[in-house]
Amino acid sequence: MNAILEQLSKFGVVPVVVLNEVKDAEPLAKALCEGGLPCAEVTFRTAAAEESIRTMTEKFPEMLVGAGTVLTTEQVDRAVAAGAKFIVSPGFDPEIVDYCLNKDILVLPGCVTPSEVAQGVKRGLKVLKFFPAEQYGGVSTIKAMAAAYVGIKFMPTGGINPKNVKDYLTCDKIFACGGSWMVKGDLIAAGEFDKIKTLTEEAVALVKEVR
């Protein structure tokens, strides 16, 4: 589990992907890998999510693929069976968190309040998602909460883009950022995977400027 966290931290940015068609999973994964970011959080917002995770992990075994927007334990099982190496939820659902911990599955639950962070601390979690980041005060809120919970790092997601990602990554309490700007739905739908590769390369360069 720690090895997965180390990988995510090195990437600095985790592409948050919404796939409506399974056919797009392979070219998208190829674009991310060639762009230098062999990582994706595939959200369980669509019917294509499970099979897309399976396709990515089978075709590109070097990729670190997780499942996002996981709302039930049944989705946890489906995601892991498809090859997901980590689970991300938008909020702190104790049932999902405890289920993952009991099965030794890396879980990054969403938090925006000290009370939610406290629930993560109680369970021994070291990294929590902060979502939606920009709407809940961004870096300043994370710094304020991290002052009280010194052992916790955060993965902010929501409203992060090339203009503000460096502000987040310069904070030592931020583990990595979730972002969708390099994998926008309209680019995927239009088959503009070369553009996605270019945006991915630019995201990698931004990370290298501050880490």
Positions annotated as catalytic residues are 41, 129
CA dihedral 142, 148, 151, 156 (to 10 degrees): -10
Query: In what helix (H) or strand (E) does residue 88 lie, and over which residues does it extend?
Result: strand 86-89
The CA distance from 87 to 68, in Å, is: 6
The CA distance from 106 to 112, in Å, is: 19
The CA distance from 61 to 83, in Å, is: 10
- 3-state SS assignment for residue 92: coil
Strand partners for 177 = 13
The two tokens of residue 209 are 């400027």
